[in-house]
Structure 1
Amino acid sequence: MTIRVDLNSDLGEGYGAWTLGDDNAMLTVVTSANIACGFHAGDPTTLLATCRSAATQNVRIGAQVGYNDLSGFGRRFIDVSPTDLAADVIYQLGALDGLARVAGSRVTYVKPHGALYNAIVHHREQARAVVDAVRSYDASLPVLGLPGSVFLAEAEAAGLTVVTEAFADRAYTPEGTLVPRNQPGAVLHNPVAIAERVRRIVLEGVVDAIDGSRVTVRADSVCVHGDTPAAVDMATEIRRLLTASDVTITPFT
C-alpha cells in the first residue's frame, strides 16, 4: 500500500519592508502553502507575490485565516463574537482568493492560524463560526485542523471535507494538543531529529509528547512553520527522509 502525505507551510507572513522566512525556497519543497490573509500578517503586495510563486511551483494555496491581530501576529486569543468571526473569515477568504486567481491559481483549502487554530480545538462557538464561514463562501473547500478537535468535528458534521494535521516543529502535550509557545521546549529546531519524528508520525502514527509519553497522531498533512529558524532545512530533510522511506509527498486533494 502506498503511503501518501501532504507537506504544508505557513507563508506570506512578511509585511511591507519586513520579511519573514524564505517563502520562495520553501515553495520548492512543500506541496501546500498556507498563505496569510492580511489579518495576522501579510500585506497585499506580499500576498500576491507569494500566490504567484506558489502558482509557478504548482503548490496548492490555502487560506490561513486568523484573528484580526496584526500586532500580535494572531497568536493572542480574542473573545470575538461568532457573528463577527464568521464575517472576518469570509472577508479573508475572499481577499486571498482574489489574489490567488489573479496569480493564476485559487484557494483550495482553509487552515486557521495561531491562536484561532488552538482555540477551536475546544471552543465550539468559534469553531462553528469558522465552519459557517467556509460553508457560506465555498462548501467544497477542505479544512485543516488538529485531530480530535471540535473544529474538525463541527466541520465534518456540516459536510465539509476534513484534513488532519500534525506539526513537525512543535512539541505535543500528553493530550495530543500543542504545547503553548510561551513554555520551554514548545518549538523544536534540530532538522534531523524533526525529520525522524515526522517519519514516525507518518509511518507509525505516533509522536513522543513533551513528557516522554507516546501520543497517537493521524496526519493527512504535516506542517513546518515558515517562521521557525532553519525552516527550509527542516522541510528539506523531512522530504528527503520520507521519500527514502517510500512515502509519496503529494497534496491531500
Structure 2
Amino acid sequence: MYQLLDPSRFVVFITGATSGFGAAAARRYVEAGAKVVATGRRWDRLVDLQIDLGAENCHIIQLDVQDRAAIDAAIADLPPPFANINVVLANAGLALGLQPAAETDITDWETMIATNVTGLAYTVRALLPGMIHRGGGHIVTLGSVAGDYPYPGGSVYGATKAFVKQFALNLRSDVQGKNIRVTNIEPGLTETEFSLVRFKGDEEKAAKPYSGTKAMNAEDIAETIFWSTTLPEHVNVNRLQVMATTQAFGPFDIYRED
C-alpha cells in the first residue's frame, strides 16, 4: 500500500506568507493538522492569518528575507511547539517591471535579486542544519516557468528563477544521504497579487495577463506543494512545472526587416 506522510506531524516554515501561494499553503497545511510558522513583511496580513488559523496552529513572524540576521534570530526564538521544522517553503519572491533591459529601473533588478536569490539562499542556509540534525525534512522552493522560457521584459526575473531551479537541483546533491528532500515548484499563469506587485499597484495593467482566459489560482499551487510533501519519504519530486490548461508555448520570435 502506498503510504502517504501524515501532515499532522509537519512543522512548516513559510516565507512570503502574507498573500498568494504562501498564505494559501499556510491554510492548506493547517487544515491538514500541521503547525505553521508564517513569515512575511506585512504584519497586519500575518495577524489576520493567525486569527483565521489560530495561534496554536500558526506562529507569525514579521520578516524580510533580505535580512540574514533577522532570519537567524527568528529561528533561534521559535517557541517549542514550532521549533522542530521539517518542511520549509521558501516562497518569498517577486517580479518588478516589464520594461526592456535597456529601459528598466535598475533598483527593480536589485530588489528581485536580493529577494529571489539572496533571500532564498539565506532562508535555506539558516534552516537546513537543524533539519539535518533532526534526521530529515523537505525543502520546497518556488521557481517559475520563467526559469525555462524567456519573454520580453523578463530578463532578470527569469534569471532569478533559473537560479532557484539550479539551486534546488544542486541542493539535492548536497543533502544526499541526509534524508532531506528538495522540490522546485514552477508555476505558470496564476492569478494572485503577482501582477499587481509587478506593475506597482496599477490594477488595469495587472489585470491584463488574466483577461479572457482561465488562469490557475493560489490554491491550485498550494495543493501541488502540499501533495509533493506528503508523498512517501523515499519519493522525491525534483521539479514540478505547472501551467494553466489555457497556457502553452509560443513560436520563436523572429525579427524581420520591413
Compute the TM-score of the two structures, normalised by the length of structure 1.
Answer: 0.41
The structure in which a higher percent of residues are helix is: 2
Higher relative contact order (CA 8 A, sep 6+): 1
Compute the TM-score of the two structures, normalised by the length of structure 2.
Answer: 0.40
Larger-gyration structure (1/2):
2
